[in-house]
Structure 1
């Protein structure tokens, strides 16, 4: 994939090989799996824990679920990034197939 920088961006080219896209997609999927299988259940456990009943830190403890929820926003971001990379790979593959057809016809 070759993208040219234009208005609002730098003037440099970005070159990306399909294999690199696969590596990136796999790493993003690994991170998403880590969140779904490990982090998310543990955050649920922590949110449901009411070990602190009274004291000066009660105000902080009330915001605990919100703080943990922010951590899960990272999962949303990684998941979205994975979807974008997969979409780009799909489009690259479709474009390659179309170019191959055109090349075959011109032979």
Structure 2
């Protein structure tokens, strides 16, 4: 009997901050906000490339998160700002963000296994 191989899924990152930021809601100057925005895009590109190179499935959560970044109203944001309003690290996913990431991952697993 041949062993079953594991399916590997690599999750991307959600939008943390929109291009240029949203000072003073997130108190960062536009150039620093742009650096964070570009950094997330670069990490996602790297993760996608490396996942494919190693036979894993890249799960791109970024498109669904656009508009739900730390600049968004609190009731729809998936990412917290520098001073979180809910239990989360600054500029990281909150509970709503993690929940939505999980839904996207579950759908990717269903499509790819």
TM-score where L is the length of structure 2: 0.32
Q: Which has the higher helix share?
A: 1
TM-score where L is the length of structure 1: 0.34
Q: Which has the larger radius of gyration?
A: 1
